């Protein structure tokens, strides 16, 4: 079953030798939105600027607002079988869907936070005192966000192996982080804030995120100001943006939040989504990848509306195309953890592959592939693949 069913129709930007332009994924095809606009398919939608579909990012289209996102997606569903608009998806090169001005990474999975707290601090007090009162996050580096398929070079940095002075060397504890991210769909003014109730009006859609992490570099540098060079070397995203409208049938209630959150973080109705997530790992000399994690986004403690409300609560502004990551999504069992440091419990429980490879962290030549999808009553709404290979430092 295709990730890109008629119930999905995610937006992206592609290139096929005739210039970058906007498209919608439908089964194994791309619906060319620039061509659809040229043929007059959107004329009655009163779009103010049809040229938005002929640009190298979706930012201009997104700025038109949610009514236009919905109208265009609905029209694409009506014309998706028109041959003149269809291009074989295998023949195109995908480009970043948006120009990303800012990037925030949250820490919203309770199980992930508890795992790391147990591993590196006190298992009896795994969560820090603030964790259940606010969506913890940090500002990342937007310039190193890359697209699925672009390989990742092993970062170098200061590492302290214990006791004496640090050394400068390639990371020996390179890791992935399985995340879901959302792209901001609205500009706001400095000094204003977005309420949790209206936050979804500011979300264009979702992508898969692999927020790569050099654990040994991060461990030495993060006190007292948090993640820096151990995170900023690369963050990978998937190319197709799945809209909230496509995910509407998959809404679910999130975990009960105890203690109750402050009023500005309270939401009504179901704000989580039943999205299955998988990680596959293939060492260079192994003939096949194996699935090392399967979890679900529905269990995330802090939902996207709360993340966005907290992000803007101090008056910071939003810009169309900004990326917000969920933080690592982990379930309750080792086969549902969303990072190598958890799956292998900081290297103490190594993975063994059929061909004999052993992994505690990622090694050069390893390929990490993530997949995500929602499925119900024969309808599948998927993200496609997010994949990258590790290159030597």
**Residue 2 burial (C-beta neighbours within 10 Å; 0-12, 13-18, 19+):** middle
CA distance 122 to 133: 20
Q: Does 310 qualify as catalytic in the annotation?
A: no
**Residue 315 falls in which region: left (phi positive, over 0), alpha (psi -120 to 50) or beta:** left
CA distance 238 to 207: 6
The full DSSP string for 304-345 is HHHHHHHHHTTS----TT-EEE------SSGGG-SSHHHHTT
Which residues are CB-contacts of 143 (< 8 A; sequence separation ≥ 6)? Answer: none
Q: How many CB atoms lie within 10 A of CB 355?
A: 10
CA distance 77 to 239: 20
**Catalytic option among 41, 112, 133, 310:** 112
CA distances 350 to 18, 45, 215, 369, Å, are: 48, 56, 16, 19
Sign of the Cα torsion 109, 115, 120, 123 reads positive
Which residues are CB-contacts of 139 (< 8 A; sequence separation ≥ 6)? Answer: 102, 103, 104
**How is residue 363 written in tokens?**
């090694």
CA distance 370 to 282: 12
Query: Which residue(s) pair with 9 in the sheet?
Result: none
The two beta strands, 11-15 and 93-95, are antiparallel
Residues labelled catalytic? 112
């Amino acid at each position: 079953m295709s990730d890109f069913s008629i119930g999905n129709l995610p937006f992206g930007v592609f290139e096929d030798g005739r210039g970058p332009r906007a498209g919608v994924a439908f089964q194994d095809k791309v619906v060319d939105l620039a061509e659809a606009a040229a043929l007059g398919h959107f004329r009655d939608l009163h779009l103010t600027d049809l040229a938005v579909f002929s640009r190298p990012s979706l930012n201009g289209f997104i700025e038109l607002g949610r009514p236009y996102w919905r109208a265009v997606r609905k029209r694409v569903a009506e014309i998706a079988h028109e041959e003149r608009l269809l291009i074989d998806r295998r023949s195109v090169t995908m480009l970043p869907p948006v120009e990303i001005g800012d990037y925030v990474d949250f820490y919203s999975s309770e199980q992930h936070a508890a795992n790391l707290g147990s591993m590196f601090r006190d298992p009896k007090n795994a969560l820090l005192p603030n964790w259940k009162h606010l969506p913890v996050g940090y500002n990342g580096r937007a310039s190193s966000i890359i697209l699925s398929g672009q390989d990742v070079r092993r970062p170098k940095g200061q590492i302290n192996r214990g006791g004496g002075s640090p050394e400068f060397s390639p990371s020996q504890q390179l890791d992935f982080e399985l995340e879901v991210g959302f792209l901001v769909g609205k500009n706001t003014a400095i000094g204003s804030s977005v309420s949790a109730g209206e936050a979804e009006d500011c979300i264009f859609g979702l992508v898969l995120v692999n927020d790569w992490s050099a654990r040994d570099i991060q461990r030495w540098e993060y006190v007292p100001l948090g993640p820096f060079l151990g995170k900023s070397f690369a963050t990978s995203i998937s190319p197709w943006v799945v809209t909230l409208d496509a995910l509407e049938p998959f809404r679910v209630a999130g975990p009960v939040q105890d203690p109750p959150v402050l009023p500005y973080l309270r939401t009504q109705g179901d704000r989580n989504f039943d999205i299955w997530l998988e990680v596959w790992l293939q060492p260079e000399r192994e003939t096949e990848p194996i699935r090392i994690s399967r979890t679900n986004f529905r269990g995330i403690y802090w939902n996207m509306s709360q993340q966005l409300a907290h992000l803007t609560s101090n008056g910071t502004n939003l810009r169309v195309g900004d990326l917000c990551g969920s933080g690592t999504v982990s379930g309750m069992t080792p086969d549902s953890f969303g990072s190598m440091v958890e799956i292998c419990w900081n290297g103490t429980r190594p993975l063994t592959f059929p061909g004999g490879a052993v992994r505690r962290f990622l090694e050069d030549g390893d390929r990490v592939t993530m997949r995500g999808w929602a499925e119900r009553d024969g309808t599948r709404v998927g993200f496609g693949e997010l994949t990258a290979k590790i290159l030597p430092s």
